[in-house]
Structure 1
């Protein structure tokens, strides 16, 4: 579990000695450097895997090369030589991504292969202790439910075809991973928390899309009735859950998560709640009232009032 401390304030108020603060600062510097390296490695690995996947002549080549890279990385990691640890993690990550990309192409991106990929990535993440792979494994589950993202010139898009299923499935994943993190060692606690946080993001995306479009439960109804034609029924009569229900549910969920996060000192959740609460507020505000100078002014004043209320609450909590 990671927490945030103001070392300067703690030293000035006599709660820490200068020597203790210097020791904590040195430990933080090491973690900060490690974070920077991991970010660079993450971007580099994704770029290499994507480029290699585009250049390789066939999916079978990607599968074979991915398997070789993974085995090489695992062998280097098994040697327990610290000098090879970073290279071993890179090989495992690239190998896992290339292997999974290859088998996805071979099976046409079917549901069964996507579920298999989620399991493979999770296993590789544990072996390599890779936050990138564990996050990818959670996102693949989203793809199994029809979620996707896209980029075109100067435009990003997000698709969540099943908001209700997305919320329920990822709520269960987030809860399971959080409970697991309480019982794991620090090395694997980090992976469990990354998985839980990725699931929390997907929950909020599900609420966001649902609050705008509602949910027709097409995939679930199609599976229950064994009628594939339901998947294309986007008429008004097919709506099962209204956007208003998602809007209210999202607000309640954000409030509950924020209160819980403050009580247990989960700063990341507090920040996420603040970000998505603002997104939710602005989305519903401007969807209902439109963007005019008056609505923008009132929205800003209301958010400042909310911020002041949160600041007052935090001060009282700290004092208590």
Structure 2
């Protein structure tokens, strides 16, 4: 279990020796340095790869330069000299990225009719070959093989999405595609043991119900057209992943907890949307879909159909959402604190602050009595949660003594 502890206090209380403290701090520092170096390396590789592709702007030139980088990187890695492995990894990945990324861009740009049909199997083949190579358990080249696996998976998924878009397929099939992408990305993250990749699996999972983001000038926007259903979707995933984390191996447990935190973040963002706008349950699923063509003369008929649906649909008001979200956060903070789920606990506390700040500006900026009631209610709530935690802790100790 990964925990947060004050090593100075542990040494002072004679719980661990100073040698153990030094080893813990040394390992922590090494991990942080490795994360920083890998982040800089990956940024450099991605930036150089994309820059070369668009700078050369020729399929033949990109292929030649990509093969040169890949060959040089392979030779460096084959020499197995620790001082130059860093450069071998970078060179090989820039080359592989130019070949795979350049091929995908060229296919979509100039051969769009067959692009998807080539990208889907080609990406799957690249990923499968990398899985085979990684299963050989060789120490050298694992970083390169894992990264190329991700490139192949990206080519596969982009090709599949391109095919669906060309065929103008929507509805349930698109949701199935997003769920497939979720499993593929999470599986790849677990296989190569990179939790950042596992965390990215939450993006297609959220998009299964059209929850997503977009950007326009100086504004990043999160939207959730089905906030209630998306919250239920995310909470179901959180509970499943918590069960997996409790019952499975260390590696799978770590990845499950990472994805659980991401799902809990999305659930709270959906609750934020609901607390501001309310939610007509199922409006974009079994009611009227979102309107896209704002210049069309059919807007008035769509607007009438939407109003007709809303007259009979279940509606959760913004005020009700705010209350339910506050209660849910209070319970979550207590539960996660008691069960030592620090990532989920920090998320819940963060969104509790966001919720309080938002409601203070949106709903209660001119209602001082609301602050009085909320403040006085928080005091017995905190006391009750403290007593509950004491009771649960005592119960666990009693059960442990009987084992």
TM class by shorter chain equals: 0.7 to 0.9
* Superposed displacement of residue 17, structure 1: 1.4
The corresponding residue for 2:234 is 170
Structure number with higher relative contact order (C-alpha < 8 Å, ≥ 6 residues apart): 1
Structure 2 Cα separation of the partners of residues 256 and 111 of structure 1: 31
Query: Retained in 1: the 8 A contact 2:195–2:255?
Result: yes
Query: Retained in 1: the 8 A contact 2:190–2:251?
Result: no
Structure 2 Cα separation of the partners of residues 177 and 160 of structure 1: 22
Matched, 1:144 2:208: yes
User: CA offsets per residue over residues 237-273 of structure 1, 9 Å max, x none?
Assistant: 4561111121111111111111112212222222112
Matched, 1:204 2:277: no
Computing the radius of gyration from Cα coordinates, the structure with the larger value is 2
Structure 1 Cα separation of the partners of residues 358 and 349 of structure 2: 14
Gaps of 5+ in 1: 224-228
Segment drifting more, 123-132 vs 49-58: 49-58
Matched, 1:222 2:272: no
Secondary structure, counterpart of 1:278 in structure 2? helix
Secondary structure, counterpart of 2:141 in structure 1? helix
Matched, 1:251 2:316: no
Match 1:280 to one of 351, 355, 363: 355
Instruction: State the TM-score, normalized to the length of structure 1.
Output: 0.81
Change (3 A) 1:210 1:43: farther
User: CA offsets per residue over residues 34-93 of structure 1, 9 Å max, x none?
Assistant: 433554566578776998388343243543553343134213311211222211221122
Structure 2 Cα separation of the partners of residues 289 and 96 of structure 1: 48
Change (3 A) 1:185 1:42: farther
User: CA offsets per residue over residues 73-132 of structure 1, 9 Å max, x none?
Assistant: 213311211222211221122221221111011112723322222232233233222323
Structure 1 Cα separation of the partners of residues 31 and 10 of structure 2: 20
TM-align CA RMSD: 3.6
- Listed as ranges, the matches of 1:149-164 within 5 Å are 149-164=213-228
- Listed as ranges, the matches of 1:11-160 within 5 Å are 11-37=11-37, 39-40=39-40, 52=101, 55-58=105-108, 59-60=115-116, 61-108=118-165, 110-160=174-224
Change (3 A) 1:121 1:87: same
Count of residue pairs the alignment pairs up: 302
Change (3 A) 1:16 1:274: same
User: CA offsets per residue over residues 176-205 of structure 1, 9 Å max, x none?
Assistant: 001101112111111111111111011101
